[in-house]
Amino acid sequence: MKLRTVTLAVAGCAIAFAALAARNNIVEEVAWMVGDQPIYKSEIEEAYQQMLYEKVPVDGDPYCVIPEQLAVEKLFLHQADIDTVEVQESMVVQAVEQRINYMINNLGTTEKVEALFRKPMPELRQQLLETMRNQYRIQEVQRSISKGLKVTPSDVRKYFSTLPEDSIPFVPLQVEAKIITINPKIPQQEIDDVKARLRDYADRINSGESPFSTLAIMYSEDPGSSMRGGEIGFMGRGHLEPEYAAVAFNLNDPNKVSKIVETQFGYHIIQLIEKRGDRINTRHILLRPKVSETELVNSVNRLDSLRTEIIGGKYTFDEATLVSQDKDTRNNHGQMVNPENNSIRFEMAQLPQEVAKKVDTMEVGDISEAFIMKDPKRNNDIVAIVKLTARIPAHKANLSDDYQLIKQMYENSARQQMLKDWIEKKIKDTYVKIEDNWADCDFKNKGWLKIKK
């Protein structure tokens, strides 16, 4: 069951990023004044266009919703100035680079991103840094406002008892499962062939015969970066595989290619693009050695034999997880954990496709026959058996089965009310002027229209 958390600051980065495009315009019509901060018509128009582009739903008249959201942002930023709220700059930079990489990935080229925002990338990056810095400062102010929130079981029960019947969420069928996985042995010849291909690519790049980016587009098996010529964007050490980072951060010549690097994802060659403080931008070509059909069959037979021993009572499933080669589940007795909410429950659509297909027809306590699946982390073939440990039928949420879900709903509701109360108090203490053409709105927060002119 997914919950949407609503904040009362700017409702998503779409508005904040879109407003950047307005800053090259000549100052024109002022729609709102909040303190000494204007909100221009151009900001609102650009924000609306960007929300349309990104298909962000607008709950109401956009010419009422968007300026109010921008005004609320200014209230939080004013409080951030009063409290001298600062954020970690490396975190801001990382978020901006991820955003830029995402846009390039979606649009295809840097030039298309520049065309969308009508400014060169260096200027766009600086403006995005300001915007993202503000977003983090707003989040810090919001956390400070709601940090005193205390939740007791009595609060949760009372909240649930007052929920209208049509507001109680419907929880789809959920399951809990344990898993044992093994990685089929990769023949040495296949590894040698992959390394030979990478050495050939490196020689072609170093000799000037072929650009790195061209070979990455043609041959790299990393779908996230291959279409961008292997470029992964600026990353800190903590965001890279340790083996990759150790080599990448020692590169100094952008015209040369690294030695072959092995990580859990396969084998790479790396090219430096740019170093910037404690971050680095690189290209890479990734090749993954392929598992032979013979090794897959051997691994299936191995796990089927283990399953027979478990069913026969030689081992418990938990004991057998010691042979699993996925450290995350092995260290947790095989328990699968839902990465979307960090719980042990999964809706069927949240499970890996192959696992869902198996557990769909299993009874609680059953152990599947061995099957081949794609590793969700590395996208390579692995072999697994799963045990279905619980099946929770679809139902309306209730306190006994869904306490954590209802608690989260209560916390979100209480936090939202605390922020709303803070905003309305802040409005009372802030000069606000809304031009007549922009004042005929049913605003979410009270007090904006105390001064119309």
300 and 222 belong to one structural domain = no
164 within some domain: no
Reported confidence tier of residue 74, pLDDT bands at 50, 70, 90: very high
178 within some domain: yes
Q: Give which of 172, 173, 103, 92 is closest to 126, Cα–Cα.
A: 92
345 within some domain: yes
> Which whole number is the average pLDDT over 392-397?
94
CATH code of residue 308: 3.10.50.40
175 and 198 belong to one structural domain = no
Asked if the model's pLDDT at residue 187 lies above 90, the reply is no
147 and 17 belong to one structural domain = yes
76 and 110 belong to one structural domain = yes
Q: Give which of 356, 320, 325 is closest to 338, Cα–Cα.
A: 356
Reported confidence tier of residue 47, pLDDT bands at 50, 70, 90: confident
160 within some domain: no
25 and 134 belong to one structural domain = yes
446 and 328 belong to one structural domain = no
146 and 60 belong to one structural domain = yes
Model confidence pLDDT, tens digit, residues 76-130? 999 999 999 888 777 787 788 888 888 887 888 888 888 887 889 888 888 888 8
- Residue 376: per-residue pLDDT: 77
300 and 270 belong to one structural domain = no
Asked if the model's pLDDT at residue 426 lies above 90, the reply is yes
Domain count, the chain: 3
215 and 346 belong to one structural domain = no
Structural domain range at position 339: 171-184+291-395
3 within some domain: no
| pTM (two decimals) | 0.64
With b for 16 or more beta-carbon neighbours within 10 A and e for fewer, the 152-165 pattern comes to eeeebeebbeeeee
427 within some domain: yes
- Residue 95: per-residue pLDDT: 83
Start-to-end C-alpha separation, the chain: 47
Model confidence pLDDT, tens digit, residues 277-305? 888 999 999 999 988 889 999 999 999 99
Query: What's the CA gap between 80 and 140, in Å, rounded?
Result: 8
- Residue 6: per-residue pLDDT: 33
417 within some domain: yes
146 and 208 belong to one structural domain = no
